[in-house]
Amino acid sequence: MALLEILEYPDPRLRTEAQPIARFDKALQKQIDDMFETMYQAPGIGLAATQVNYHHQLIVIDISDDQKSPLVLINPKIVKKEGVEEREEGCLSFPGVYAKVQRADRVTVEALDRNGQPFTLEADELLAVCIQHEIDHIEGRLFVDYLSPLKRERIKKKLKKLNKGR
């Protein structure tokens, strides 16, 4: 396995719309494993392929404390949303940045697993938020898109300042 570079805002590649996955081969399995390793190392609870410059509809998630509940979503589609919740979100592409974002509290998602088998998942609370956040990534949207222009500008300035220190 290998650690992948996580693209950071305002990298324009983060706005790329990901393509559906049709081939479930060894290269895809390695990409999934590398994404989990990268996410755990970061550390994070979700990572979309777009964030590691792999522009296919692939998401890895693990919201467990012990990193023993890996979830792979390939070509995911949200088919139902319910409720509204506001929760503070962070993002591996926005190191050190957190902001309150309003999203659905419950979602039903249809996806393929790492072997191409279809499944349906009903999720709520943190998992629902994480799924919505990561699906946004593969659609070229970022969590800051839900914020006011003023808040987005503050975040951009903060990240520029942090990057100068590297």
Model confidence band, residue 163 (pLDDT cutoffs 50, 70, 90): confident
- Please tell me the pTM assigned to this model: 0.95
Beta strands in 7-62 (DSSP E): 46-48, 58-61
- Residue among 5, 86, 125, 134 flagged as catalytic: 134
Determine the pLDDT at residue 81: 98
Q: What is the mean pLDDT of the chain?
A: 95
134 catalytic residue (yes or no): yes
Mean pLDDT calculated for residue range 27-40: 98
Q: Count of residues for the chain?
A: 166
The two three-digit tokens of residue 158, written as one number? 């903060």
Percent helix, strand and coil across the chain, each rounded to 5? Answer: 35, 30, 35
Distance in angstroms (rounded) separating the CA atoms of residues 132 and 102 = 11
CATH superfamily of 12-164: Peptide deformylase (3.90.45.10)
Give pLDDT tens digits for 46-103: 999 999 999 999 999 999 999 999 999 999 999 999 999 999 999 999 998 999 999 9
